[in-house]
Structure 1
Amino acid sequence: MNDAARKLAPLAKDQADQHYREAPNNLEAEQALLGAILVNNDAFYRVSDFLKPVHLFEPLHRRIFEVAGDIIRMGKTANPVTIKTFLKADEKVGDLTVAQYLARLAAEAVSIINAEDYGRAIYDLALRRSLITIGEDMVNIAYDAPLDMPPQSQIEDAERRLFELAETGRYDGGFQSFSDAVTLAIDMAATAKDRDGHLSGISTGIHSLDGKMGGLQRSDLIILAGRPGMGKTSLATNIAYNIAAAYEPEVQPDGSFKARNGGVVGFYSLEMSSEQLATRIISEQTEVSSSKIRRGDISEADFEKLVACSMMMQKVPLYIDQTGGISIAQLAARARRLKRQRGLDVLVVDYVQLMTGSKKSGENRVQEITEITTGLKALGKELNVPIIALSQLSRAVESREDKRPQLSDLRESGSIEQDADVVLFVFREEYYVKNMEPRDEFDPKYEEWKMQMEKVKGTADVIIAKQRHGPTGTVKLAFQSEFTRFSDLADSSFTQYEH
């Protein structure tokens, strides 16, 4: 054998070994777990919260685990006799029939005490197999370099799949059984029963709004729209801070945290800097005018109030990203990262028209907005969080006699209306009445204007123009413009529920 052949021999052996590498699995652990379940059904409940049939490697073991789970959930006993009728009688495992194999699993079962350890081992191996699949796909796609998947798209796709794997233990999405969906619905009702205010969603901190919406529902896209000067950013900031300030974490069995009340908020501020946003929130909390804070026109007592407030606010889980012109793909990637690192319960985007889509839709702004709203809706579902997206309204509002916004006023695309689960309009009549002030105070119309101004001063309407799972209607709120603060109206807080 010459030198070249000698050098190539071990390489060829390595490649042969690699070629026959088997996906990580542990059939003995699967057999031990199934045996423990067949002997004592309590073993199933030790693993059912994290282990699903798809996590088992052997197809027959998946079927046994699935059938056993269905029988146990129905309150019946799962054992070799009751399970075998649901499996193919003619299927063989080596020389054994399925019935004999089930009897063998039960006969060789070890203690139920080890069931959870076996379950964890099986689950970890399933994750490793999924990681291998994602890794192989990444390598193959990178080698093929398909035209429809540039490197940036591949990174986003890999990041999404890894995120789903980290969150749920599987990344394929796929169908979910109706029984799982029913369980989730009952869990949601139980959570609402225990939560402050008995809301199925996350409380906005404004009771009259919660009364109409039931809080912010997970995976919903909530469009908050209004003309400039109406206070849509103020309302979004108020809600974001209320949710973050009410945050009460609850430790889960796996060591992670879940919000019992309030939540962790991610705020994409494409228009204002984080410092401007913080000034608004400090002003709202301390009742010191934001213009005075900016000018430094504050007393020693006010300054002490600001310092005390800022120290309290530093503990609040509100995270601000002030990147201007962010694309939907970048926004999704950062939101996933925030959820993995800090947790995430609500996402706010201020505002949709300042975001960019992909280069493909760059020529057509309507297509671009469609891509953005569709992307936001998909992101809300993926992260299982409500997304509040602010939007501008067209100037058509200004040319009408009645300045109250309508769904048709949503700017640049009908997709905003279609993709949204909830559409809220902020409308402050005070803004328009103020601009109609007669120049001469001796004008006969001046008294009439003054009366009208008194009627609308310090109030704002939040119009619920669309809501998939609740009524439409108008909620009247109090608005203090100097502190940019929305709150419940003292006298009408009880009438908002009747619609």
Structure 2
Amino acid sequence: MNAHDRNFSPVPEALDSERGLLGALMTSSEAYWRVSGFLKPDHFQEPINAEVYRTIGVMLEEKRAITPMTVRQYLPAGQGEATSARYLAGIIADAMPPVAAYDLGCSIVEAWMRRMGIARLEDGISMLRDMTADTSPGKIFAEVMSSLDGLAQVDESKEGAVAQAVDGIMERMTASERKPTVPFPLDQLREIMGGDMEAGNLYGMLSSSGEGKTSLALQIMGHAATQGHPVAFLSYDQSEEQCVDQIASQRTGIENTRIRNRTLTEREMSTYLDALADIKKLPLFIRKCSSSVDGSAQLAAYIRSLHGKRFRRLDKPALVVLDHSRKVKPRNENAHEGRIAAEANGVFKQIASDLGLVWFNLMQRSSFGTKRKNPRPIDADIYGGESGKEDYDGVFYLYRGHKYLKAQLATADDAKDEDKIRARFAREKWEEDEAEVGALKARFADPSRWYRLRFEKEFTRYVSKRSADEAERNEPGLF
């Protein structure tokens, strides 16, 4: 057998990435500016895909609207109106979230580089086979190496290109575009986290049992769904009906206990039923999970399926809320807590990035942290410690000091110990219905900010509690 007789693999292609990216461009011009610095029409394998990409770029530079109807008129005449309409409909059906544009662009360029590399190496082989008298193997090697080096520079141009990032930011600023976000229901949450929750990010809320973290999570979910964001609630604790009843209580102002016991007046029943009808229309999906079955892989598969069937129909990023992360079945139950948390968070972060959604974990504090003399939440209380914290883009805590005051008084050794406990908590002047929120990790916020909220236990919801001394405490200095 000759040395050159081989079974070659198919030519590298990224047709799915090409269609997914073009679909993203049809839904958001932001996707174009994420790839325009390094992705060129020549990088596309399918000629019609290259033409659509080139056309979209020209239209955006002319500040014209991008829709299937506006783009279709510029497709090659040979396509035919019916064919081009079917083609664009298929592109929209295969659309990926705008946040995935960069990765899709990279895969397109990579496939192009592989095709070009194969072609240039094959050219070199041909030149070596049929070498003429006016050249030499060394010259052929140098020519091939120079050609491959040019391809390598294309690969480097998309890695960390600050100029391209700046161009993209400037284009979005000029077009008054913002990164897609899921809104918080309370200004205090927005302020401690440096803004609303950005698509593609992983967030967390840390609290202990009985402090109202599920109530606040349902409040966040209800607000997001009302604003048109699809919401998925993965609950290991509450059933679908319990979640819906709690959301109805928050929306109507009817006590949750009376809703559960069905002791409503005729007027309240009418209000409650109207609220249920409104909730039914919301893009809200609730799944009751099992700690003996549902691990991070099962949750990821469910969200990917839900995204393909439901989320992609809406033009706003989805919110996924997990209650709570300690209940997720680990792949290796004997592994260290930090490794378990890091592995699960890595999966959730990847899902958020791939699908362009927000993943929000509720975290139950460990008993060790709640037994400290000063039980105020700290970084070490995050599930998994430093290892568990790494993948988060933002984490905030929910803390009700009065709860810990009562717990410590109940186990005080004597009257003297009680006095010490009261003095310790008196410095912060806690009221029974107060809770504090503050950041444990926030990329673009002042970590010293924290705010008090008021918990309306009858309706299991939090409301703003601003005061003059709070405003003064959080007033930024000159430097």
Task: Give the TM interval when normalised to the shorter protein.
Answer: 0.5 to 0.7
Question: What's the offset of the Cα at 1:23?
Answer: 10
Provide the C-alpha distance between the structure 1 equivalents of 2:320 and 2:205, rounded to a whole number of angstroms.
13
| Structure 1 position 298 matched with structure 2 position 273 | no
Q: Mapping of 1:131-210 within 5 angstroms?
A: 172=107, 176=158, 178=161, 181-182=165-166, 185-186=169-170, 189=173, 201-210=181-190
Provide the C-alpha distance between the structure 2 equivalents of 1:206 and 1:116, rounded to a whole number of angstroms.
53
| Structure 1 position 480 matched with structure 2 position 456 | yes
- 1:278 maps to 244
- 2:442 maps to 467
- 1:220 maps to 201
Query: Alignment partner for residue 345 of structure 2, among 373, 384, 388?
Result: 373
Q: Deviations over 1:345-402 (max 9, x none)?
A: 21111111111233xx343152332210111111111112221111121112232121
The 1:72–1:417 alpha-carbon spacing in structure 2 relative to 1, beyond 3 Å, is same
Provide the C-alpha distance between the structure 1 equivalents of 2:106 and 2:97, rounded to a whole number of angstroms.
5
Note if contact 1:211-1:496 (Cα within 8 Å) is conserved in structure 2: no
Aligned to 1:314, what secondary structure does the other structure show?
helix
- 1:37 maps to none
Q: Which amino acid in structure 2 is aligned with residue 55 of structure 1?
A: F
- 2:404 maps to 432
Provide the C-alpha distance between the structure 1 equivalents of 2:429 and 2:78, rounded to a whole number of angstroms.
69
Aligned to 2:237, what secondary structure does the other structure show?
coil
Question: What's the offset of the Cα at 1:243?
Answer: 0.8
Q: Mapping of 1:319-358 within 5 angstroms?
A: 319-325=285-291, 326-343=294-311, 344-358=317-331
Q: Deviations over 1:230-254 (max 9, x none)?
A: 111111111111111122xxxxxxx
Note if contact 1:285-1:309 (Cα within 8 Å) is conserved in structure 2: yes
- 1:35 maps to none
Aligned to 1:347, what secondary structure does the other structure show?
strand
The 1:436–1:327 alpha-carbon spacing in structure 2 relative to 1, beyond 3 Å, is closer
- 1:87 maps to none
Q: Mapping of 1:5-154 within 5 angstroms?
A: 52-57=41-46, 113-115=74-76
TM-score, normalising length from structure 1?
A: 0.60
The 1:55–1:180 alpha-carbon spacing in structure 2 relative to 1, beyond 3 Å, is farther
Note if contact 1:189-1:200 (Cα within 8 Å) is conserved in structure 2: no
The 1:114–1:373 alpha-carbon spacing in structure 2 relative to 1, beyond 3 Å, is closer
- 2:364 maps to 392
Note if contact 1:373-1:415 (Cα within 8 Å) is conserved in structure 2: no
Q: Deviations over 1:92-137 (max 9, x none)?
A: xxxxxxxxxxxxxxxxxxx984449869969969x99xxxxxxxxx
Provide the C-alpha distance between the structure 2 equivalents of 1:225 and 1:54, rounded to a whole number of angstroms.
46
Note if contact 1:162-1:171 (Cα within 8 Å) is conserved in structure 2: no
Provide the C-alpha distance between the structure 1 equivalents of 2:264 and 2:239, rounded to a whole number of angstroms.
22
Provide the C-alpha distance between the structure 2 equivalents of 1:65 and 1:162, rounded to a whole number of angstroms.
14
Aligned to 1:285, what secondary structure does the other structure show?
helix
Q: Deviations over 1:132-178 (max 9, x none)?
A: xxxxxxxxxxxxxxxxxxxxxxxxxxxxx99789x867794867574
Provide the C-alpha distance between the structure 2 equivalents of 1:276 and 1:347, rounded to a whole number of angstroms.
18
Aligned to 2:198, what secondary structure does the other structure show?
coil
Aligned to 2:349, what secondary structure does the other structure show?
helix
Note if contact 1:225-1:393 (Cα within 8 Å) is conserved in structure 2: yes
Q: Which amino acid in structure 2 is aligned with residue 227 of structure 1?
A: S
Question: What's the offset of the Cα at 1:268?
Answer: 0.9
Query: Alignment partner for residue 363 of structure 1, among 317, 330, 334?
Result: 334
Q: Deviations over 1:30-70 (max 9, x none)?
A: xxxxxxxxxxxxxx99xx9x995433347xx97x9999999
The 1:416–1:163 alpha-carbon spacing in structure 2 relative to 1, beyond 3 Å, is same
Note if contact 1:393-1:410 (Cα within 8 Å) is conserved in structure 2: yes
Q: Which amino acid in structure 2 is aligned with residue 287 of structure 1?
A: G
Query: Alignment partner for residue 233 of structure 1, among 199, 203, 214?
Result: 214
Structure 1, unmatched stretches of 5+, are 1-18, 26-43, 76-110, 129-160, 248-262
Question: What's the offset of the Cα at 1:413?
Answer: 4.4
Aligned to 2:211, what secondary structure does the other structure show?
coil
Provide the C-alpha distance between the structure 2 equivalents of 1:73 and 1:305, rounded to a whole number of angstroms.
48
Provide the C-alpha distance between the structure 2 equivalents of 1:299 and 1:471, rounded to a whole number of angstroms.
47
Note if contact 1:356-1:372 (Cα within 8 Å) is conserved in structure 2: no
The 1:181–1:435 alpha-carbon spacing in structure 2 relative to 1, beyond 3 Å, is same
Provide the C-alpha distance between the structure 2 equivalents of 1:164 and 1:485, rounded to a whole number of angstroms.
32
Note if contact 1:476-1:489 (Cα within 8 Å) is conserved in structure 2: yes
Aligned to 1:230, what secondary structure does the other structure show?
coil
Question: What's the offset of the Cα at 1:319?
Answer: 1.2
| Structure 1 position 423 matched with structure 2 position 402 | no
- 1:405 maps to 377
Question: What's the offset of the Cα at 1:457?
Answer: 3.1
Q: Which has the higher contact order (CA 8 A, sep 6+)?
A: 2
Question: What's the offset of the Cα at 1:320?
Answer: 1.0
Aligned to 2:182, what secondary structure does the other structure show?
coil
Provide the C-alpha distance between the structure 2 equivalents of 1:434 and 1:420, rounded to a whole number of angstroms.
32
RMSD between aligned alpha carbons? 4.9
Question: What's the offset of the Cα at 1:432?
Answer: 2.3
Question: What's the offset of the Cα at 1:463?
Answer: 1.6
TM-score, normalising length from structure 2?
A: 0.62
Q: Which amino acid in structure 1 is aligned with residue 396 of structure 2?
A: L
Structure 2, unmatched stretches of 5+, are 1-7, 15-31, 63-71, 111-154, 312-316
Identity among equivalent pairs (%): 20
Provide the C-alpha distance between the structure 1 equivalents of 2:78 and 2:454, rounded to a whole number of angstroms.
56
Provide the C-alpha distance between the structure 2 equivalents of 1:495 and 1:200, rounded to a whole number of angstroms.
32
Q: Deviations over 1:254-302 (max 9, x none)?
A: xxxxxxxxx1111111221111111111111112221222222322222
Q: Which amino acid in structure 2 is aligned with residue 477 of structure 1?
A: L
Question: What's the offset of the Cα at 1:73?
Answer: 8.9
Q: Which amino acid in structure 1 is aligned with residue 216 of structure 2?
A: L
The 1:466–1:299 alpha-carbon spacing in structure 2 relative to 1, beyond 3 Å, is same
Q: Which amino acid in structure 2 is aligned with residue 209 of structure 1?
A: L
Aligned to 2:233, what secondary structure does the other structure show?
strand
Q: Which amino acid in structure 1 is aligned with residue 281 of structure 2?
A: K
